[in-house]
Chain A
Amino acid sequence: MADKKATREALGDELTALGAVREDLVVLTADLADATRVEYFRHKYPERFIECGIAEGNMIGVAAGLAASGKVAVASSFAMFAAGRAFEQIRNSVGYTELNVKITATHAGVSVGEDGASHQCNEDIALMRTIPGMTVINPADYTEARAALRAAVEMQGPCYLRFGRSAVPDMSAEDANYSFEIGKGRVLSEGKDVTVIASGITVGMALEAKELLKADGIDAEIINIHTIKPLDKELVCASARKTGCVVTAEEHNVIGGLGSAVAEALSEGCPTVMRRVGVQDVWGASGSAGELLDHYGISASNIAAVAKEALAAKKG
């Protein structure tokens, strides 16, 4: 079993590493330096760290102004207060301006846990992907999160990156062939009966679901879509053509996120039977991360169950 680490740890670690080679990197927080782990960067590079206080809208605007003056500005907060509260600032001051601002949002989804629904952002990917030119990345594990952040800082223009609070297995660290490219999905395990497309925390679950399905004689293909926008439509459609049915799995409302993005690609490119695992348009609640994920059906067992449904629907 791979070591477990939260992707937010990657945010802090990789920013600190990038700080050494990118003098133009400036990091901003809105009173959440510790929880988002950007504290690590502040510790090493206090002169390039800007505390904005609890004022996310202003933080995004300040980041835009820094970027307009030649900086790579990394604005950090919880997903709820970055994508949610500051949506319009991101849209107008970062998206429309095409500025080099990276929005790094931690504590996304129900796995925030005990804080409850007010802090569990299940809408951020939907919001961010409607902004023209916005790249949206949801890394699966620590190693991928570091690679994603590195790529985001290297690319020109706005990018939204989603990080989780809970520790997840660092599968990519054990993959000798691991490579990361924005917009390129990764086939983690080939199969012929059903395609499971996962993103972020659900990638590990999808791999577990593969084993559960194998026990029932079902050969699932597992794909990691770390970049939700631009979506790797080619890969999605190629796999859908091969297996004839698709299940998406996400820690996000099934409206507007990965499931929607895949549904759009499939319905236009290669109509295929599909099912969506995720938060079924309901509110979050307090509880432990593990309990909540199970409660909302974001689990290996539910992915396997839904995959069987999809398979049955295909056979019709």
Chain B
Amino acid sequence: MDIKKKQELSEIARRIRIGVVESTNAAGCGHPGGSLSIADVLAWLYFGGEMNVDPKDPRKEDRDRLVLSKGHAAPGLYSALALRGFFPKEDLYTLRKLGSHLQGHPNMHKTPGIDMSTGSLGQGISAACGMAEAAKLDGKDYRVYAILGDGESQEGQVWEAAMFAAHYKLDNLCAILDLNGLQIDGKVSDVMNLEPVDKKFAAFGWHVFTCDAHDLDSVEKAFADARAAKGAPSVIISRSVKGKGVSFMENNAGWHGKATKPEEFEKAMAELNAEVHNG
């Protein structure tokens, strides 16, 4: 990736993170940790040229679809969608408030740009399979992306869907496994070990790619490889840092599902704003 594009995408990712911190802070609750860990991947998907979407026509038939199977990372997706122009950025301040279209977990009927309502873990990947299957039935060439959590992948339904996608050779499906290593009760490896997750997906018949979630060159390559891989679905194991970009949230399971207090908010914003001057 050329330096200019990389700088632009880094800036987008930084602004996505600011949206996450600001919106959850305004809500007084929400899930910043797992939203921050996918910010760079979201920047790539919505701004890197990966996904064919149109904010002016969010439901256009040939669009690429994204299912946020780890629906609690909604603040990250909302922030990306707002930046992409699906709705005004000011809406982010209404997150989780009564009357807002920005529900605690994504709602496909309320928020433009949301392709599937999710939140109950393990279900989004199945819906993504259905979308990919529909594209095959209709001879359409749109792609379907599903963002999975590593904790989420403890759900049996994820593996039911993994079997299904491989059985039906859904090579128009690309799952991104946000491997941030933490879940509510602690480290994934302590709570219920998922490793070796790459071998698990490979054994289920998937193409498996790996990237450093916070290195845009690495992200770009993984998505290019996934797009080129045919005959089976692809999963990108995206090795990430939960809470990435805010020092005190990084690698801290405690920031899975809580918002900043005023002084924490100031510190988080100072760090995210400093990043632009340094970067």
Contact = CB atoms under 8 A, between A and B. Distances in A.
Interface of A: 26, 47-48, 50, 52-53, 55, 57-71, 73, 88-89, 92-93, 96-98
A62 B109 CA distance: 19
Interface string B148-163: 0000000011001101
B238 interface: no
A53 B161 CA distance: 11
Contact of A61 (B65, B125, B138): B125
B108 A68 contact: yes
A57 B134 contact: no
Nearest to A47: B137
B161 to A, nearest CB: 5
B123 A69 contact: no
Contacts of B128: 65
B188 interface: no
B157 A58 contact: yes
Nearest to B162: A58
Given A26-B134, A61-B127, 20 more contacts: A48-B137, A50-B168, A58-B126, A58-B161, A61-B125, A61-B157, A62-B127, A62-B129, A67-B130, A68-B115, A69-B134, A71-B134, A71-B137, A88-B120, A89-B126, A89-B157, A92-B119, A92-B120, A93-B126, A96-B107
B220 interface: no
Given A64-B130, A65-B134, A53 B123 contact: no
A69, A88, A89, A92 pick with most chain B CB within 10 angstroms: A69
B131 interface: yes
Closest 6 CB pairs of A and B: A65-B130, A61-B126, A69-B134, A58-B160, A55-B160, A65-B127
Contacts of B26: none
Contact of B129 (A61, A70, A98): A61
B116 A92 contact: no
17 contacts: A47-B137, A48-B137, A57-B126, A57-B157, A58-B164, A61-B126, A61-B127, A61-B157, A61-B161, A62-B129, A68-B130, A68-B131, A69-B65, A71-B137, A93-B123, A96-B117, A97-B108
Given A55-B163, A58-B160, A89-B157, A73 B117 contact: no
B135 interface: yes
A93 B131 CA distance: 13
B272 to A, nearest CB: 33
B64 to A, nearest CB: 12
Nearest to B164: A58
B52 to A, nearest CB: 15
Contacts of A48: 137
B108 A53 contact: no
B119 A57 contact: no
Contacts of B22: none
Contacts of A47: 137
B178 interface: no
A61 B130 contact: yes
Contact of B133 (A65, A70, A88, A97): A65
B131 A65 contact: yes
B126 A64 contact: yes
A64 B127 contact: yes
B160 A57 contact: yes
Contacts, number: 105
Contact of B164 (A52, A67, A98): A52
B130 A62 contact: yes
Nearest to A65: B130
Contacts of B65: 69
Given A55-B163, A57-B126, A98-B109, A66 B134 contact: yes
B110 to A, nearest CB: 11
Contacts of A69: 65, 130-131, 134-135, 138
A73 B126 CA distance: 14
Contacts of B131: 65-66, 68-69
Nearest to A61: B126
Given A55-B163, A60-B126, A97 B157 contact: no
Contacts of A88: 120
Interface string B97-129: 000000000011100000111011011111111
A91 to B, nearest CB: 8
Contacts of B137: 26, 47-48, 71
Contact of A66 (B107, B130, B163): B130
A98 B110 CA distance: 12
A70 B120 contact: no
B123 A62 contact: no
Contacts of A66: 130-131, 133-134
A68 B119 CA distance: 17
B127 A50 contact: no
B128 to A, nearest CB: 6
Interface in B215-249: none
A7 to B, nearest CB: 27
B61, B117, B125, B168 pick with most chain A CB within 10 angstroms: B117
